[in-house]
Amino acid sequence: MTTTPTAVQPVPRGGLARLVGRRVTDWLPALVVLVGTIALWELVIRAFDVQEFLLPKPSAIARTFWNTRSDLWAAGWFTFQEAFWGFVLGSGFAIFVALVLARWRTIGSAFMPYAIAANAIPIIAFAPITNTWFSPLEKSSKISIVAVLCFFPVMVNALRGLTSVNPRALELMESYAAGQVQIFRRVRIPTALPFIFTGLKVATVLAMIGAVVGEYFGGALNALGVQILTRARVSQFQEAWAGILLACLLGIALYLAVAALERLTLRWVPSTSE
Amino acid sequence: MSVVQIKDLTKRFGETTALQGIDLEIEPGEFVSLIGPSGCGKSTLLRIIGDLIQPTSGAASVNGKPARRARIDREYGIVFQDAVLYDWRTVSKNIALPLELARWDRRRRAAKVKEMLELVELTGFENHHPWQLSGGMQQRVAIARALSFDPLLLLMDEPFGALDEMTRERLNLELLRIWEASGSTVVFVTHSISEAVFLSTRVVVMSPRPGRISNVISIDLPQPRTATTREEPRFFELVTEVREALHLGHDIERAPA
């Protein structure tokens, strides 16, 4: 997949292999590191007799994860829904705003400094506030904080993509007497897609963080963040760690889903096939 | 009726006078090259003809209409130094883009794309993406795209400037073949003297500061031109004539006012 593009190269096919992007041998080094890390973790805890409240053994976490899987899954699903809908709402609105700002540049230059400044604000600090705006027990309180978290990286990236079009490409569209709608549909949006996906991938990570941390400030009993917090408070560290593990897995799943969508959408980009 | 008509045209960028007192008429079927050192305004003149920038005073008309009307009526195709292909579109879809914008139906588009691929000899590459093609092939796609909607006028801004000498000479021959087959009028910006002489029916020599036309040289080499045209004595005479005209323009610039 790393051959240099030449004139005789066949059009790449979009099979599963291409979707995953790599052969098994490409994955192998990463797999070795993962297994090695877990083994080392287990070994160090056994060898130095590390107390469970500091760090449980991976094997113990895995066992607890498996034994409590149905409860865990219910909590995880609840929190994942918050993360997912917050991500969808925040990202969707971000792309819409970016389109408006790219179309009317004066509005864009008026708002952009604040958008960039807002991007630097630790938005998660507002979580207790959204908990009072909506009921902390309702998903909407977490969805709203997740949406705000996802908004900025997607908006900033999308706007950069929409405005980083080759000026010659725009001149060409002008020479074809294309209108603004056509220029956006056929040039600006396709150019922006790789940027938008970069923003979306950042947002997937923020979404899971936002949902779980939002729940630390108060949430329904069957929410993953609340579960982790209460288990840790009553010294059920294996259960807390099992919850953390699930939060990680759900975050990675959301990220991979977006990455797969990116590969499907951007088949024409040579770099996504490498 | 002239395809391009320019009368007493001036273009200023702030303090700089990019073009001054430009008068130029181009007849149907001509192949006119604009040649000159950088800063002489040749690309600016091309963009004014294409209504991509506006003159400060004077006007350009294309096919008897103001340049703006001609642009909206899609009366010219343009090719830049880099192919500016849309990476997310296949070769076929790149060529079809102007046709989509002109609301041709699918069947007519497909027939035209096939015809254009044959014209630029890229049949078999319709489903390739631009990054899979060599620079010369990309430029051929750009030419096919510019000609796809049968414009009477083809504007080319150093289209082969980024290619190696051998590819460039081959594409010169291909362009002449395409020009003859399509019957269009070509305005061609270059800074290669031999390329200008080889391709053109007329060479417009420009000089800088302020950009102006210093000489117009008719190229009376017989048509159709072939690879051996470059070896004829008359070719060398004309190359010398254009070179001297360029240097003369340069000397005028240096002489005290």
CA distance B115 to chain A (A): 20
Q: Which CATH class is domain B1-75+157-257?
A: alpha beta
A&B contacts, CB < 8 Å: 68
- Given a cut of 80, whether residue A26 has pLDDT beyond it is no
The answer to whether the beta carbons of residues B105 and B117 sit under 8 Å apart is: no
CA B36 to chain centre: 14
Nearest CA in chain B to A270: B131
CA distance A134 to chain B (A): 43
- Given a cut of 80, whether residue B134 has pLDDT beyond it is yes
Assigned token pair, B137? 């092939």
Residues in chain A with CB shorter than 8 Å from the CB of B65 are: none
Residue B16: half-sphere exposure toward Cβ, Cα within 13 Å: 9
- Given a cut of 70, whether residue B48 has pLDDT beyond it is yes
What is the rounded average pLDDT of the residues A136-144?
84
Distances (CA, A) of B157 to A85, A111, B160, B191, B192: 50, 38, 9, 10, 12
The reply to whether B227 touches chain A by the CB within 8 Å rule is no
What is the rounded average pLDDT of the residues B119-140?
87
What lies within 8 Å, CB to CB, of A114 at 6+ separation is none
The reply to whether B202 touches chain A by the CB within 8 Å rule is no
The reply to whether B87 touches chain A by the CB within 8 Å rule is yes
Lowest-confidence region among A262-266, B145-149, B246-250 = B246-250
- Given a cut of 70, whether residue A18 has pLDDT beyond it is no
Residues in chain B with CB shorter than 8 Å from the CB of A13 are: none
The answer to whether the beta carbons of residues B225 and B239 sit under 8 Å apart is: no
pLDDT of A7: 42
Q: If DSSP codes are grouped into helix, strand and coil, which group holds residue B186?
A: strand
Domain A63-273 belongs to what topology? MetI-like fold (1.10.3720)
The answer to whether the beta carbons of residues B74 and B151 sit under 8 Å apart is: yes
What is the rounded average pLDDT of the residues A253-266?
91
CA distance B22 to chain A (A): 23
Place A4 in a pLDDT band, splitting at 50, 70 and 90. Answer: very low
Place A198 in a pLDDT band, splitting at 50, 70 and 90. Answer: very high
- Given a cut of 50, whether residue A11 has pLDDT beyond it is no
pLDDT of A57: 87
Residues in chain A with CB shorter than 8 Å from the CB of B84 are: 166, 168-169, 172
Q: Where are the domains of chain B?
A: 1-75+157-257, 83-150
Q: Which neighbouring-strand residues pair with B153? A: B76, B185
Place A2 in a pLDDT band, splitting at 50, 70 and 90. Answer: very low
CA distance B83 to chain A (A): 9
The answer to whether the beta carbons of residues A57 and A45 sit under 8 Å apart is: yes
Tell me whether residues A172 and B84 touch, CB distance under 8 A. yes
pLDDT of A184: 93
Tell me whether residues B102 and A176 touch, CB distance under 8 A. yes
pLDDT of A5: 40
Tell me whether residues B128 and A11 touch, CB distance under 8 A. yes
Place B252 in a pLDDT band, splitting at 50, 70 and 90. Answer: low
What is the rounded average pLDDT of the residues A243-250?
92
Residue from B216, B222, B121, B132 nearest B174 by CA:
B121
Residues in chain A with CB shorter than 8 Å from the CB of B97 are: 176, 186
Q: Please give the share of chain A, as a percent, with pLDDT higher than 70.
A: 89
Residues in chain B with CB shorter than 8 Å from the CB of A186 are: 86, 97, 100-101
Residue A76: half-sphere exposure toward Cβ, Cα within 13 Å: 20
Tell me whether residues B50 and A175 touch, CB distance under 8 A. yes
Q: Please give the share of chain B, as a percent, with pLDDT higher than 90.
A: 35
Strand order in the sheet with B57-62: B16-26, B4-13, B57-62, B65-66
> Hey, what amino acid is at B242?
V
